[in-house]
Amino acid sequence: MGRPRLSRADPLAAGRDPRIPLVGLLIVFACLLGLSSQAAAAERRVALVIGNGAYENITQLINPPRDAAAMSAMLRGLGFDVVEAVDLERRELTERLRDFGRKAAGADLALVFYAGHGVQIDDRNWLLPTDAKLTDRLDLEYEAISADALLRAMQAAKGRVLLLDACRDNPFRTGFLSESGARSAAASRGLARLNVEDTGTLIAFATSPGAVADDGSSGGGRNSPFTAALLATMPMPGLEIRQVLTRARQVVFAATAGRQTPWENSSLVADVYLAGMPAGPIPQQLDETFWNAIEDSREPEDFRIFLRRFPTSGFAARALERYEALSKEVADRPSGNGTPAAPTASRDCPTCPEIIRLPAGSFVMGASAEDASALDNERPAHRVEVAAFALTRYPITFDDWEACVAAAGCAGRPDDNGWGRGLRPVINVTWQDARDYARWLSARTGQDYRLPTEAEWEYAARAGTTTSRFWGDDAAKACAFANVYDRAAEKSVIVSWKPHPCSDGFVHTSPVGSLAANPWGFGDMIGNVWQWVADCWTDDYSGATEAVAVADRQCSERIIRGGSWISDPAGTRSSARARSDAGDKDNNISFRLARTLP
């Protein structure tokens, strides 16, 4: 991995200058993937990844091809030689299995992942190619593929892992008609238990035998709950594969409110570390710090995030209880300006970024006279009236950006500095790049997407609060809510300012939504990445009374807000402002979008 470009650190720490200055940084890297250990690097790992969605004779599924693409990318990062296949007819599926069987011979670890339709008939599991056409049981041998065939393809490998995201309903019950959003060909009960006969094999289902798993597309997700959980947990360093699956099971259970519980059956006699063996002690009490910060929260999202990050914590059971109880309550929490405490998130299309609609309101913008960390450019504090608008729930991610690139709406694939793509915020994008993405999303949805004004951004960031940060004034509590420069980052990124006295679990950028949201449901408003807004830079708020952007087509400097993963405590306040040249690309700057409401 090469040295990342960190030409610009956080403005409010380096010299207290709101222009982001050039600083010299010593970056110390630790590879988080399994290839960091010599043992993992010496292993030969092979994987066959299949995603079937474009069915010809039964209900099509949206997410399996996406699941396959994301799983393939993640496994390559873990050192697997991956064969990726999408929308296979029976002949093609048979050929892939035959070829993979040869490839897997003698491999230290072989892994097969299948996402798509699957059925159980007479206690046997069958996976359906895209051209499967079944009228009765006699067709199965000729139209479908037995799940046992996937195990046979790995038989000559030393270790074998089978992941089935296909626990779907029996098509014979309702003539192959599927319930919306389920990976099933009908309305029966999932897959049958698959026994492990050979030592050194692990089998995992998306849900327990006889139960039905969700595709995830009905809720607008890009991946099924099971695949999403695997993508989050498999790259975790220091976890043995059975620990990975335990965490994934808890994540899915929480994400589906208990409707889906993944299941596995194992005859492994040796430990399998997908992302490397533990390199050292895990930061202690990180879960306790997070729990103490959210214990009294009234937001179910806070507890969902806790369960996703710390599924094996001693606080997990209490977090699940709080999540379930709060999810059932009717939100009726007035805020300082009459905006609901947690407005409902929605999407303008199944794969569009989530947005939260905010009604009109007013708030006091800028730093209070008592805020000793504030700069002159944050004053004078002034009341601003804000019209109704919507804002994306999270910063725009690499996944979001790459959809724009695929549609020829955005240019190029920004560098991720080796920190990961997917759900991490897109970085190394200019102010104009952000505008290009907004223009593309507007054309795709027929809505008016744009960069938010500085006032709109701060209105959403404060979320009805008047403290220096939406969680209060204590910077030491930041790590439950914001990815900031902390004790862990201090060991890898050496700068001239002091860290937050806590650990958030991330050194560089983090997947959006990894930490607790603000009272209105927005994640990563503070920390992770600075965010471009529409406004030109101004030295202070003199004369500012409106929420419209301070616009000048000729201005070269634009405002960024929110702080980032390298921010000191002064930069993680709701009123903190900074500026950057509109043409700059930096690894601590991203953006989110506003949407004009009728």
> What's the mean pLDDT in 235-248?
85
| Contacts with 457 (C-beta within 8 Å, 6 or more apart), sequence order | 391, 531, 533, 561, 562
* Three-point CA angle 271, 277, 278, nearest 5°: 125
The Cα–Cα gap between 428 and 434 comes to 11
Mean pLDDT of all residues in 562-587: 95
**Amino acid residing at 331:** A
Answer whether 275's CB lies under 8 Å from 291's CB.
no
The DSSP code for 397 is B
* Best CATH choice for the domain 41-266 from the list 3.90.1150.10, 1.10.10.10, 3.40.50.1460, 3.30.565.10: 3.40.50.1460
Q: With 50 as the cut, is the pLDDT of residue 185 above it?
A: no
pLDDT of residue 545: 55
Instruction: Give per-residue pLDDT as tens, 29-74.
Output: 233 333 333 344 468 999 999 999 999 988 888 889 999 999 999 9
> What percent of the chain is modeled with pLDDT above 70?
79
pTM over 0.85: no
DSSP states of 313-339: STTHHHHHHHHHHHHHSPP----TTS-
Most confident of 8-12, 96-100, 307-311, 406-410: 96-100
Average pLDDT of the residues in 179-191: 44
For the chain, what are the domain ranges?
Answer: 41-266, 317-596
- Which of 147-151, 220-224, 591-595 shows the lowest per-residue confidence on average (mean pLDDT)? 220-224
The architecture of the domain spanning 317-596 is Alpha-Beta Complex (3.90)
Q: 466-497 pLDDT, tens per residue? A: 999 999 999 999 999 999 999 888 888 878 88
* C-beta of residue 129 within 8 angstroms of C-beta of residue 177: no
Q: 102-111, 204-213, 312-321, 450-459 — which is least confidently predicted? A: 204-213
Residue 434 has a pLDDT of 97
Q: Is pLDDT larger for residue 586 or for residue 494?
A: 586
Average pLDDT over all residues of the chain: 81
